[in-house]
Structure 1
Amino acid sequence: MPNDATLARLTDTSKYTGAHKQRFDEDGKGRGLAGRENVTHHDGSTESAVRSHAIEKTVDEKAHKKSVVKGPLGQQKFGTQADTPISFMIYKNGDKNHKGHKVLLKKHFRNMQQLTDECNKHAAPLTGPIRRFYRPDLKTWVKDLTEFEDGGKYLCVAGENPKDDIEKIPPGFFE
């Protein structure tokens, strides 16, 4: 790797000779096509001491600036960004050995009936299909999809009161 003195000497535009001297202006910025070829402006008049037809620069400095884009473009990784689904655990009422089943509440569940139909496949209570999802306090149940909490635990009940037989509730539900 060259040291700083060598690098400074190689990038000093005042030391450029020949064709390279024409490629840069006094600030060290490139002139574009005007530095590589003999580009002139033809306006029909002759060139004089006051009127030069030589073009100094063909590079538009404003065109090289990055445009500022408002919105989530810089925050997104790749492609379309999906919303993260709410995940929670459901437990089967009446089966104290049930380990629980993780449910992802995605956007394709439009209402509670669709969610209960899906949960019946994995954690249907012994007494019938799921009718309610109780919270760990065993007093309140979920009435709408928006009431589910991320990381929450819910007891699937067919219609019976879960307080009637607490010893049959899975212990993982209360942890």
Structure 2
Amino acid sequence: MEIRPERADEYALVEQIHTLAFGGEQEARVVAWVRRSPFYIPELSLVAVVEGRPVGHILFSEVGLQDESGPVRKVVVLAPLAVHPGFQNLGAGKHLVQAGLARLEALGAPLVLVRGHAHYYPRFGFVPSEQLGIRPPFAVAPGEYMARPLSAYTPQYKGVVRYPAAFAAVGYPVEYG
């Protein structure tokens, strides 16, 4: 299995993977909209490739983190992660997360946020975001919103997460950008 940045000629296939994995088009729309936004980071849109064909995709993009005093700091969100149903439980998701975290470390990102399954992401060092003073701008079940501090993390990264317009596709409030 190879992990590499997605190519433009794979966009439709990647969106299809998200549609199949999530059973709807919302996450595929987020991916498409992020790609057309100023918050898109091409080297952080990764695919898992088997026999020359993408079978999984992970997207990391910029969001804001606003503390009580007003400043908004740039951070990264992992959203979404999808693996084609025919290739799930074979390690593609794990390899995508690990490769993405390694790239974020190399780029000097302070932390990455994710809304996801509380039993899956802790294996990669994610902790409930409230432990770091970080809150999503919507209600979630305890432990469902997580943060992974990276080497450049400092305690100044706290507050409420602010999402750009691309995330309106999944019903998130748009308050960034």
TM over 0.5: no
Structure 1 length-normalised TM = 0.19
TM-score normalised according to structure 2 size: 0.19
The structure with the largest alpha-carbon Rg is: 1
